[in-house]
Structure 1
Amino acid sequence: MAYPHEAASSGPQPAHPASDPEPTGSGPDARGPRLASVVVFVHDHDASADFYGELLNMKVTVRTATAALLVSRNGFQVYLRAVGSHAIHPTGHVGAHYVIWTADGPDDFQRCERVLRARSDRVDTREAEGFTLIEGRDPSGLPVLVAYPGPDEVARLEIISRYYV
């Protein structure tokens, strides 16, 4: 949904949250909902639980024959659902396709980079305006991205062309 002051444009525009009008019915301290969980369909939930547990520093709290629940120290959850080795992930269809994680600091970013380089067959690092983004693959071949610093520390002033071209 566009705000009334937004004009149509041919490309992505930087967001200016401080100048955006407050949504109706919100007070000055209202932040809106936060992302609490991500559900990822994977080929093998055991291999994926090991991978995401190490990369994201999360613990498996529940495991069934076809699913696993990982939880971070701050309560964020990753649900892994096994859908079999022949399931595909069609890029270009509607729905979430990428989740970008934020490292906790420069040391944590280096740790994530080491994990991705050790456990991923394709790893790419790129610099953007004020932050670094590393991309690898999980055991199902899904892209996994980690950035540092996060958007709460360095505003994102551009959309990385790979994700909208």
Structure 2
Amino acid sequence: MPAAARARVFDDRLPSDAEIENANHLRQVLASQIKDNEPTCLRLALDAQTRAEVVLSPALARSFMDLLRHVGSGRAVTIVPTEERLTTQRAADLLNVSRPHLIKLLERKEIPHTMVGRHRRVRAQDLFEYRERRDAERAAALSELAEMDADLI
């Protein structure tokens, strides 16, 4: 990606104070228009004479709110298309684990991968599915521990 285009994204930098303020303002405006499980209709003034209407599906509105919440909190954000093939370092970063740990997961076939020459590539969708399974297993284990703790009292 050209340097000028990269300067506009947040995957390699933190948002500026002005961007944080703008994201929080837009999030408040969007939140005031969202209704549960209904499309969100926004009317925009493009200039003094031109108006546009934008309709966001509930899923798109929630995704946009999540993006604005992260930027509004001053965090860097990465958007990863599900079909993207990730390097092992990028996949490890998205899971918040070390690259050697990710390699062990790949070798144990816990996450599918392909080889491109000598390099492993992980499909983003497979990585996200693994993360969901991992998080569900952790939540179940925590619930079980809480129940065991309650039984001891």
- Give the TM-score band, short-chain normalised: under 0.3
Structure ID, larger Rg? 2
More helix by share: 2
Using the size of structure 1 for normalisation, the TM-score is 0.26
Structure with greater proportional strand content: 1
